[in-house]
Amino acid sequence: MASSFNIISNEEVQDIRAALEEGDLCTATERVSEYLKDIENAPLNIAITGESGTGKSTFVNAIRGMDDEEEGSAKTGVVETTEKPTPYLHPQYTNVTVWDLPGIGTPNFAPDSYLQSVHFSRYDFFIILSSERFKKNDIDLAKAIQAMNKKFYFVRSKVDSDLYASQVRRKKTFNEENVLNEIRNNCIQSLRDGGITKPQVFLLSFLELDKFDFQIMQDTLEKELPEHKRHIFLISLPNISLPVLEKKRQAFKTDIWKLSLLSAGAAVVPIPGLSVACDIRIPMNAMTSYKNAFGLDEKSLEKLADTFGKDVSELKSVIKSPTVTKEINEELVITLLKSGVTGGLMFVEYAASNIPLLGSLIAGGISFGTTYCMLSDFLTEIAEDAVRVLMKALESPV
């Protein structure tokens, strides 16, 4: 069975999960990069989408070198003929499947339920067709694709008709180049107006496929297909790694309250400016072991950077937690504990210090709470940073 990530098989997903569970970031990243080497062979699903009658089925036939009447060709016509998403193998790119989709806005495929009806998540990237200027449906679709972190291109079809009409109607001033430029600018403008930044539009006629922007489109696809695959692989990584890292985090978390109690109970080092006494060696050791477990300690990061030909500073640049990249020493732990005690808690501590017997108990309680929150926060930050570092390590060099 194919995994829900399209491009990685279930076995591969399991393998990456296992590597993350057992090992550190470096082991897991090495495993993922082995798969990235085979990415050329990964399957890719391209959806041809757009409104009804824009030429989707004709496009699918044309790129497969077929006319519309051959056996095995997609059905085309002036009335909507595509009833459900239909897969066709791409003739040139092995492992690429082109999906002919029903039109948006046809009776069974209303715009608001369109994406669900065509099993949107199945596709890795999208070609949105329009035979006129791009409209709201196209723009909404593009935005939904963008929200899924997937890519799309626009194709303006039937430019032969525009040229023909212009030639008939404006015999004297007709200039092919001008008409094409006008169409292109018009398309780009309507997409920009709709909020699409840097839209890429190819002008095509499926009756004369090799004319107009066909070669540019081919070249672009050829250049970008491996990148697309890599991108798709990488965007699925958080889906795989986050649950695993979350499990790791939970496992540590169950121990935090014990550590915090211990720390508060031990109460040997009074922190200056904080009337609470706690043994800061305990949270300090805990933080160090979290860093090691998630592979975010200096040594692991260096090894990771080395393996993937990156600079340590590059990996560190995606770490959001200000604490993770700092050396864990007494000073840092004290600063963190102090910053955790604010407003109300400060007052309680002050009150506590005036009531000796009760005071030590409350002080213990505060120290427990402060330590607990600090360690929990740190653990959450470290798990999220681990995913970011993993993705960064695997990013292709620019």
The pair of three-digit structure tokens given for residue 314, joined into one six-digit string: 């590059």
Closer Cβ to Mg ion, 9 or 97, answer by number: 97
Query: From the list Mg ion, ligand GDP, none, which binds 186 (C-beta under 5 to 8 Å, kind-based)?
Result: none
Q: Which residue stretch of 77-85, 178-186, 342-350, 353-361 sits at the interface with ligand GDP (rule: CB under 6 A)?
A: 77-85
Closest approach of Mg ion to the CB of residue 65, in Å: 18
Residues 167-226 that bind Mg ion (CB under 5 A): none
Using CB under 5 A, pick the residue from 29, 45, 54, 57 that binds Mg ion. 57
CB-count exposure of residue 253 (10 Å: 0-12, 13-18, 19+): middle
Decide if residue 160 touches ligand GDP (CB under 6 A): yes
Closer Cβ to ligand GDP, 120 or 206, answer by number: 206
Closest approach of ligand GDP to the CB of residue 114, in Å: 14
Closest approach of ligand GDP to the CB of residue 162, in Å: 9
Closest approach of Mg ion to the CB of residue 46, in Å: 15
Closer Cβ to ligand GDP, 218 or 285, answer by number: 218
Decide if residue 396 touches ligand GDP (CB under 6 A): no
**Backbone phi, then psi, for 258, in 5-degree steps?**
-65, -45
Q: Which residue stretch of 53-61, 91-99, 144-152, 307-315 sits at the interface with ligand GDP (rule: CB under 6 A)?
A: 53-61
Decide if residue 80 touches ligand GDP (CB under 6 A): yes
The pair of three-digit structure tokens given for residue 6, joined into one six-digit string: 């399209």
Decide if residue 82 touches Mg ion (CB under 5 A): yes
- Would you tell me which residues interact with ligand GDP (CB under 6 A)? 52-58, 76-78, 80-82, 103, 157-158, 160-161, 205-207
